[in-house]
Structures are given as structure tokens and as C-alpha cells.
Amino acid sequence: MAKSQTGKWVAKVASTGGSKTYRAQRPTNYYLLLVAILVIGLGSVFWARNHYHNATTAAASTVAPTIGTTSYSGLSIDVCGTIQPTLLPSASTTAAITALASGVLKVAPKTAAESGTNATLELFAKSYPSLVLTSNSLQTPKNATGSGQNVTNGQKCAAGTPDAGKTGTVLYTFWSSFASTKPQTSSSTSAFHLTANSLVTISFLPSGAKVPRPPATTISAMLQAGQTSTTPTTAVNGSATTLPTISVPTTTAPTTTAPTTTTTKK
């Protein structure tokens, strides 16, 4: 019996498109398409991430303290109710944040990574040897009296301190300016950034205790540093340290002339 037209068509298709040779061929175009999609997807993610990072950096550079500027803040450390001696002036003067005399911090960012919201206590501690600031511990280097502090959350205040026997907690309290009366408090060293005339107290105190502002001597030195006209260099502990000075205006007392009295002779 002769094959029908349909049978011939099926046989033809089977002999061409449905052969074993065709089935053995790998779908190259399909795999190339998958690779292209993967490459494009990863490229888009990288571009978006890089764009976001650059945008964030650009925005941060417009927030004080900006690159190339110099400002001053005040710092104090309170452990168990006792204000500690101020940190010794930084041995290095090239860091973005350095310690001066009387508890003054000099903030002079040179890069985007040091400016704006990056100018924090965390950045300062990285450049100040033996100063360790974390969310649950505080370690200070030897000061002018030859002693330092090393305390951890949950530790009791030592005998002889105002808060003796009480459990302490490390906190960082920030005032945006010396005139501010509403401070911010956090356990993070990067919760706030240092701006001109801002104040910071690093404390280890019992829960609920009032954190004091830096003392008047520190605030006065900070304000003087901000009005500095000249900055002489003085050797401190064998290293060069820039000390702030302030020009005091001279006041001249007014000159008065005594009235002249004329006497008429009778």
C-alpha cells in the first residue's frame, strides 16, 4: 500500500529535525543567552552600588567638618563620678583628629573618609595610641598623673570613688555646641560627628546618673583655639604640639580734662 501524503510529511520531518544528530547537539545559543543575562545583571548591581557609594561620599563632603577646614571640640572623661585628667597632646599632628592641651580636640579632615559624618570618636581613637573605645569598654592611656583607666560594662566602681560599689556602663554623651542644653547619648562611638565647638563626655557611670559636660577650663580652651590668630609650636614630651593662642584686644582708657575755674577778684 502506498504511503499517504501525511505519512510522507511525518517521515520527512523525522529525517531532518528529529534525527539523533539534532538531539545530540547542545543548545549553544541558550547557554550564551544565560551568560549574557548573568553578566548584565552583575554589571547593573555593581554600577548601582558604585553610584550609591559615590553619591553618599559626595553628600558627606558637604557636611561639616569639610575637607580642608579646622575646628575644635571639647572632650572629658568621667569614670565613677571623677573627671579624669585630660589626655596628653597627640604625638602626631597629621591625624584628622588630634588631642591638644586642656582636653581640646583639633578636627582637620584631609580626605572624604575623615570628613563630615566620618569625623567621630571612633576615628579619633584609631589614631590615639592606647585609647580603646567600644560599646562596652573604656581604656585610657597613662595621663599626666601616670595612671589610666580600664573598665568594662557591669564592673563595679572602685572604693574611694563617688560611685564606689555601683555598677557602671560606658556611654558617649554629645552636645552639638557649648551652648546646647540637650545632649545626645549613645553606646556607639560613631553615633555623632564632631563639629565646631561641640562637646563630648566619655563616661563610665551607674545607670541613670547625670553625665557632666566637659569642665569650664576645657570649654574656654576650645573657644580660644577657635579664635586663634597664631599657633606657635611647643615641645611636649619630646614631640611637637601646636598650642592654641588668642589675641586679646587692647582697651585704651578715655582721656578726661579737668574743668577750668575762673575766680573774679573783688
The separation between CA 69 and the C-alpha centre of its own chain, rounded to angstroms, equals 15
| 148 within domain boundaries | yes
| 218 within domain boundaries | yes
Query: Scanning the structure block, which residue is given the C-alpha cell 579646622?
Result: 70
| 51 within domain boundaries | no
**Other CB atoms within 10 Å distance of the CB of residue 205:** 24
Q: Identify whether the C-beta of residue 232 lies closer than 8 Å to the C-beta of residue 241.
A: no
Query: Scanning the structure block, which residue is given the C-alpha cell 548601582?
Result: 48
**Other CB atoms within 10 Å distance of the CB of residue 76:** 23
Which residue from 125, 107, 128, 127 is spatially nearest to 116, judged by alpha carbons? 107
For residues 1 and 35, the model is more confident at: 35
| 28 within domain boundaries | no
pLDDT higher than 90, residue 28: no
For the chain, give the percent of residues with pLDDT over 90: 58
| 210 within domain boundaries | yes
| Amino acid identity, position 65 | P
Q: What is the mean pLDDT of residues 242-248?
A: 41
Highest mean pLDDT among 59-68, 88-97, 191-200, 238-247: 191-200
Q: What is the mean pLDDT of residues 84-112?
A: 95
Separation CA 117–CA 113 (nearest Å) = 9
| 106 within domain boundaries | yes
Query: Scanning the structure block, which residue is given the C-alpha cell 561641640?
Result: 198
Q: Which three cell numbers stand for residue 132?
A: 580603646
Tell me how many domains the chain contains: 1
| 19 within domain boundaries | no
Which residue from 81, 50, 51 is spatially nearest to 201, judged by alpha carbons? 81
| Amino acid identity, position 249 | P
| 239 within domain boundaries | no
Which residue from 173, 218, 215, 206 is spatially nearest to 191, judged by alpha carbons? 173
Alpha-carbon dihedral 82, 178, 170, 155, rounded to 10 degrees? 10
Domain that holds residue 100: 71-231
pTM score:
0.65
